[in-house]
Amino acid sequence: MSLNMKTTWFLTFLLNVWATALYALSDRTFTPPDTLDVRQCRDLAVANSPLQQKKLYAESIAALQIRSLQSNNLPRINIGAQATWQSDVFSLGVDNPLFQPPQVPKDQYKVSADVAQRIWDGGSDRYLRQQRELERDMASAQVDVDAYQLRELVTDLYFRALLLQENEDILSSSKTDLNRRLEQVEASVQGGVALRSAADQVRIQILKTDQQIAAMQADKQALMEILAKWLGRVQVDFVLADPGWSDEALRPEIRPEIRLFALQQRSFQLQKDRLNLQIQPRIEAFAQGGVGRPNPFNFFETGLQPFVLVGLRASWTPFDWGNRRREAQVLDLQVRNVAAQQMAFEQRLEANTRKEFWDLNVKYKEQLVQDDAIVTLQEEIIRRAEAQVKNGVMTETDYLSQLNLLTQSRLSKNCTNSNPRRPGKCWLQNWETKHLIIKNL
């Protein structure tokens, strides 16, 4: 077989493999990534949080405790045994040949079973059942409070990643302008109008912009992977939706802390109601049966004899020297303490809501108008600066400074527009970006 024929066969084999691979790839269906808004991210994070297992545990604990309470209506059975030796025993002290009293043994033995059946205790099981249900509800409410903090964390990650994405787009647009400017400067250099150093300055600025873009891409990828972890995703297979502006009036959120405060007050009130059980009598029936030596109810039967005892017993504490009243006062103070905590929380929440309303409807709308004006003016300055550079009135360094000011203005506008409810973080990131740009000049 000739070399050309072998080469032809080998190329044919490679073409067949390549065609098969292309067919396999084209046969696969492309699944676009999910687009998630901030509400969906919050819900997914809460649903996939291990905190939700605490609710299931609280349900199981309450069910077991309530089931144990149901067994209180059943008879209580106790089996006991006793063996004793005593130094002296009961004796009649009679010495009569016609009548010999039995001698009680000093070693005595007894095996018995005690059975008790509750008849009336004032309804303590009803209060205990309510208390267990309240404990379950409070555990669930505490989970909701913890989950709300998780929602705030996910919201922060969402808007920070979104802001980095939009800032990356702005820097990419600035890089496009720099590349266009580089072409113009290169043409001037070739025409002998500009120095090579002017083109080098533009190239340096392009490299610095690439550095900023790479840093933002790394930060965004890190935030997206962290967000994916909270959402229960194995990889970043989703994109973030732009939340946009909303003119809807802000209202105070129904926070889970409000429900927790209400349950805590109910718990203290229930404990106060249970204090009434202390003045209720308790009645139960009981029985005892077994064998003993001697018979514990008849010492004249000194052998191993069976015995039985049945009856009713009651207990009542009519006087407690004011303890119940003082405990009720303590519980009232605890209820008021929780109410004061709730009022302070609602006051702080309302104050924050009012601030957010004014920030969103007045402050940020005015800032957006001002940002638009600043960007428009800066773009006009750039257009005039291009002509001034061509005429030799402005240096290339001054032009690049004005171009960086335009990028900074666009970043500031994007920060104000991306998340109006987080001014602190926006201004901090904008300040950092501003000083990064100035430092790179």
**Which amino acid, residue 320?**
D
Q: Which residue has the tokens 């696969």?
A: 28
Within 13 Å, how many C-alpha atoms sit on residue 238's CB side? Answer: 25
Q: Which residue has the tokens 């032809």?
A: 8
Sign of CA dihedral 227, 232, 237, 240: negative
* pTM, rounded to two decimals: 0.67
What are the structure tokens assigned to 381, written together?
A: 């300055």
Residue-level pLDDT at 245: 55
Helix (H, G, I), strand (E, B) or coil at 393: coil
Quote the CA–CA distance of 362 and 283 in Å, as a whole number. 71
Helix axes 51-70, 38-47, angle to 10 degrees: 40
Quote the CA–CA distance of 238 and 232 in Å, as a whole number. 12
Residue-level pLDDT at 247: 54
Q: What is the dihedral of CA 67, 71, 72, 76, to 10 degrees?
A: -150
Quote the CA–CA distance of 103 and 39 in Å, as a whole number. 89
- CATH number of the domain at 46-85+105-440, please? 1.20.1600.10
The phi, psi pair for 48, rounded to 5°, reads -95, 5
- Give 360's DSSP letter: I
Give the DSSP H/E element, type plus range, for residue 61: helix 51-70
pLDDT tens for 320-363 read 888 888 999 999 999 999 999 999 998 888 887 777 666 666 66
Q: Where are the domains of the chain?
A: 46-85+105-440
What is the full per-residue pLDDT of the chain (441 aa) written as tens digits?
Answer: 454 555 555 556 556 655 565 545 444 444 567 788 888 888 899 888 888 888 889 999 999 988 888 888 889 999 999 999 988 877 766 666 666 677 788 888 999 999 999 988 878 888 889 999 999 999 999 999 998 888 889 988 898 888 888 888 888 888 888 888 888 888 877 877 777 887 888 888 888 889 888 998 999 899 999 999 998 888 888 888 877 655 555 455 678 899 999 999 999 999 998 888 888 888 999 999 999 988 888 877 888 889 999 999 998 888 888 888 899 999 999 999 999 999 999 888 888 777 766 666 666 667 777 777 878 888 888 888 877 777 777 777 777 888 888 888 787 777 766 645 443 344 333 333 333 333 333
pLDDT tens for 56-66 read 899 999 999 88
